[in-house]
Amino acid sequence: MPRNSRPPTIQNQLLAALPGTEYKRLLPHLEPVPLPFMEVLYESGEPITHVYFPNDGLISLLVVMADETPREVGLIGNEGMFGIPVVLGMNATPLRALIQMPGSALRMKAEALRDELKRGSALQKVLQRYSHALFTQVSQSAACISSHAVDKRLSRWLVMTHDRAPGDEFAMKHEFMAMMLGVTRSVVTRAAGHLQNKKMISYTRGQVTILDRRRLEATACECYAVVKTEYGRKAHTWGT
Amino acid sequence: MPRNSRPPTIQNQLLAALPGTEYKRLLPHLEPVPLPFMEVLYESGEPITHVYFPNDGLISLLVVMADETPREVGLIGNEGMFGIPVVLGMNATPLRALIQMPGSALRMKAEALRDELKRGSALQKVLQRYSHALFTQVSQSAACISSHAVDKRLSRWLVMTHDRAPGDEFAMKHEFMAMMLGVTRSVVTRAAGHLQNKKMISYTRGQVTILDRRRLEATACECYAVVKTEYGRKAHTWGT
DNA sequence: CGCTATATGTGTGTTAGAGCACAGACGGGC
DNA sequence: GCCCGTCTGTGCTCTAACACACATATAGCG
């Protein structure tokens, strides 16, 4: 599937979940934009001017500590969107959004989203349920960080990233993973070394390849499954 | 102000933020209930039958790990409510809600809340903004856990608890604080010992007294201030 | 008033990860 | 094909917190 032709299907899962008529109504407000690698999509405290529905690529939600150290608390791929605060009636958040894997998105002016939400549309329901799923993801991260060893957390993070990657290979250096996991680089090198020895992944100079997804998932902590289940649920059960 | 007479004001801050007419409409659906010490108010995965607006007391939101270890990810006092998933169109969550400090609440059937929300009322806006604040709290916790030493986190936790306590003294043993902070009991004993030596708190057999709130707050990590600011914001700026 | 259960204090070895230093190793540019 | 910047490997010390054991203190109870 060529990347720069018009996509035959709606890649973003939230938009794909909308009734056709509603999607058509939204279309004029959806502007395709690239998600450039390592760009700060949104900076903590700024007004949120646009919300983003990724087609592909990966957005990290970061808490930036007083000493400027970032800590990843959430991941957003094409299963979600950036801009939940707008859905919840706010126009800013203390988080930072960083593009961790390049891709593209459909973006929409925050104002247009607010108008659409006022109509009590299907979009509102979809986005609210997504908010819940994202909340679950962040909660589980909080618990995970304090409970699970780096090896397991690294595996989980790789699996989650893999879920949102276009293939089995993606650009990712130890330095960056260390930042996301909140540990030092040498710890990641050691943990990643183990995974490579066991032939679950391979990597060289910033290119990671997932070799054995099944075993990697088995190595990851339970938190992966918990969050995945909850994301699945947003479309089905537990709903109103 | 005597505790068992009819309260002269609305103690729950979310309900207090509603226009009088709307509060009156809600009143028939609000049932006063006690929040008994240490009771599990809601168990992970169960249908949410009621939402709770605390008058006083303190509810902990916990992630329960596979090995049954709980990890606190959020705190709810009279500034908030338990039942956000309902606001977001879900009827369950993987979190557990535990009453960490006794008190009372006004509860409402989830169904009644859903009906009210459909009307596009002020309540909806208030609860959505609260969702955002709670989200911020959980995000910050996640980052805090991996960045800050137990001493600072304990101070933060005590300050947050103090904010929601009726006075300067409350029941709280080291064992329980250890569970909330996700560390072992002896670590809490040592950290609490320091705070007691420095005359910021005192305690004896499960009764903690806050002696010097100002210094305790100064000892706490930045996360306290970040979350507090965001809670303040929900009523004012950054809104639509 | 002493007993007992429970809460707190403390000692000691172990471990995960921090923090730092530097050694290799790869790969793109010349 | 060589150079150099960048990425990765690894060795070392240091510390926070774990895990466990046990000592001590306190409140309530008989």
**DSSP code for A49:** -
**For position B239, what pLDDT does the model report?**
46
Centroid of chain to Cα A48: 18
**For position B234, what pLDDT does the model report?**
58
User: In this complex, which of B71, B85, B240 lies closest to A146 when CB atoms are compared?
Assistant: B71
Residue B5 has pLDDT above 80, yes or no: no
d(CA B157, CA B216): 10
d(CA B61, CA B135): 12
3 state SS of A131: helix
3 state SS of A204: strand
**For position B240, what pLDDT does the model report?**
46
Asked if A233's CB is within 8 angstroms of B129's CB, the reply is no
d(CA A40, CA A57): 14
Q: Which residues contact A119 (CB under 8 A, 6 or more apart)?
A: none
Q: What is the distance in angstroms between the Cα of A5 and the nearest Cα belonging to chain B?
A: 36
How many Å from the CA of B186 to C1' of D20? 11
Computed over every residue of chain B, the mean pLDDT equals 91
Nucleotides of C under 7 A from a protein CB: 6-12, 16-21, 26-27
Q: Tens digits of per-residue pLDDT, B64-92?
A: 999 889 999 999 999 999 999 999 999 99
Both tokens of residue A216? Answer: 């990697």
d(CA B76, CA B60): 6
**For position B34, what pLDDT does the model report?**
95
Q: What share of chain A is helix, strand, coil (3-state, %, to 5)?
A: 45, 25, 30
Of residues A31, A34, A36, A170, the one with CA closest to residue A107: A31
**For position B6, what pLDDT does the model report?**
53
Q: Tens digits of per-residue pLDDT, B82-118?
A: 999 999 999 999 999 999 999 999 999 999 999 999 8
3 state SS of B102: coil
**∠ at Cα A82 (A77, A84), nearest 5°?**
125
**DSSP code for A142:** H
| H-helix or E-strand spanning residue B41 | strand B40-42
Tell me what the mean pLDDT of segment B138-149 comes to: 95
* Beta bridge partner(s), residue A44: none
d(CA A138, CA A150): 17
**For position B120, what pLDDT does the model report?**
79
How many Å from the CA of B206 to C1' of C3? 21
Using an 8 Å CB-CB cutoff, list chain B residues near A142: 63, 71, 73, 138, 141-142, 145
**For position A120, what pLDDT does the model report?**
79
Using the CA of A189, which nucleotide's C1' is the nearest one?
Answer: D8
Flag residues of chain A having pLDDT under 70: 1-8, 234-240
Tell me what the mean pLDDT of segment B193-204 comes to: 93
User: In this complex, which of A66, A132, A222 lies closest to B222 when CB atoms are compared?
Assistant: A66
**For position B83, what pLDDT does the model report?**
97
Using an 8 Å CB-CB cutoff, list chain A residues near B232: none
User: In this complex, which of B84, B135, B234 lies closest to A138 when CB atoms are compared?
Assistant: B135
d(CA A173, CA A208): 8
